[in-house]
Amino acid sequence: MSDINSTKPRTLGRGICIITGASKGFGRALAHKVSHSLEPRSVLLLVARSGTLLQEMKEELQSFTEEQQLGVHCIAVDLSMKEGVDEIVRVARKEAVNEIEHVLLINNAASLGDISKFGSFTDPNEVNSYLSLNVSSPLALTAGILQVFPYRTGLRWSVVNLSSTFALQAVPSWVLYCTAKAARKMMFTVLSNEEQHIKVLSYSPGPMDTEMQKDILRLTGVNNHPLPCQESVGKLMKLLLDNDFSSGAHIDFFDV
């Protein structure tokens, strides 16, 4: 029987959702929305360095998550360290014993880095430290979670990379940020070509009113007229719920 007239709300299924950078900004707003789109007995892993902010967020979600029997874990780690990535994979492995229909990994955490002329980056340690959080950690984390949840029939697998127009556009004095976002875009395109069962999306969220955007204004004087995070979160949720984007696509907020 066709379900074309069905009023059943669309959901992300009974899943495990991992959101990096969930303590503030876009990641925090997204965690609120995702928690309401997962089916009962799903699991949410919230990752950031600030354990206090994550705990506060867990408390905000508490009455709803109790009702839905949603397991929420706060993982306070530094993603630029191997131990941080390992800890997330360890917690995910403990949850893998449960019946999971959908693995949803949101690689959102990132930093702005130093906005300076190319010629100032003479210290490879400074560059490596930036790349460690912004490039190496989403690769190592995604690889670790892939090992925890290998392909099986009926398992939906989605990976979101929080990208930027700067993944496509070379902007003077933004060599760290542009390099990292371009590398991440390529990294996740490779994943989409390699693993046919995984839906991979690079989402460029548009200018959002977050700490990162405040730093941009303070450091460069440029006002990008940011929008509330909820607007961008709404568009990403639509993409995930419709699930009709091509795997590996790079989709901009203004095109949704």
Ligand X SMILES: NC(=O)c1ccc[n+]([C@@H]2O[C@H](COP(=O)([O-])OP(=O)(O)OC[C@H]3O[C@@H](n4cnc5c(N)ncnc54)[C@H](OP(=O)(O)O)[C@@H]3O)[C@@H](O)[C@H]2O)c1
Q: How far apart are the C-alpha atoms of 96 and 163, rounded to whole Å?
A: 28
What's 169's DSSP letter?
Answer: S
Number of residues that bind ligand X (CB under 6 A): 29
| Minimum CB–partner distance for residue 102 and ligand X (Å) | 22
* Long-range residue pairs from 230-236, CB within 8 A, at least 24 positions apart, any chain: 230/29, 231/206, 232/26, 232/205, 232/206, 232/208, 233/26, 233/29, 233/30, 233/32, 233/33, 234/33, 236/30, 236/160, 236/203, 236/205
Q: How far apart are the C-alpha atoms of 32 and 177, rounded to whole Å?
A: 27
Q: Which of 34-42, 56-64, 102-110, 186-194 is the region at the interface with ligand X (rule: CB under 6 A)? A: 102-110
Helix (H, G, I), strand (E, B), or coil: what is residue 203? strand
- Strands (DSSP E) contained in 178-217 are 198-204
The helix or strand, by DSSP H or E, that contains position 237, with its residue range, turns out to be: helix 229-242
Q: Which of 17-25, 88-96, 192-200, 236-244 is the region at the interface with ligand X (rule: CB under 6 A)? A: 17-25
| Minimum CB–partner distance for residue 196 and ligand X (Å) | 26
| Minimum CB–partner distance for residue 53 and ligand X (Å) | 6
| Minimum CB–partner distance for residue 140 and ligand X (Å) | 13
**Interface with ligand X (CB under 6 A), residue from 12, 15, 16, 23:** 23
Q: How far apart are the C-alpha atoms of 240 and 12, rounded to whole Å?
A: 8
Map residues 214-233 to x or -, x wherever contact with ligand X holds by CB under 6 A: ------------x-------
| Minimum CB–partner distance for residue 72 and ligand X (Å) | 16
Instruction: Return the number of the residue (100 or 135) whose C-beta is nearest ligand X.
Output: 135
**Interface with ligand X (CB under 6 A), residue from 12, 15, 19, 26:** 26
The distance in angstroms from the start CA to the end CA of the chain is 31
Map residues 37-76 to x or -, x wherever contact with ligand X holds by CB under 6 A: -----------xxx--x-----------------------
Q: How many helices (H) and strands (E) does the chain have?
A: 8, 7
Tally Cβ neighbours within 10 Å of residue 228. 12
Q: Which of 60-68, 86-94, 201-209, 237-245 is the region at the interface with ligand X (rule: CB under 6 A)? A: 201-209
Asked if 126 interacts with ligand X (CB under 6 A), we say no
**Interface with ligand X (CB under 6 A), residue from 210, 235, 236, 251:** 210
Q: How far apart are the C-alpha atoms of 157 and 135, rounded to whole Å?
A: 21
Q: Which of 3-11, 94-102, 103-111, 141-149 is the region at the interface with ligand X (rule: CB under 6 A)? A: 103-111
Residues in the site for ligand X, rule: CB under 6 A? 21-27, 48-50, 53, 78-80, 108-111, 133, 162, 164, 205, 207-208, 210-213, 226
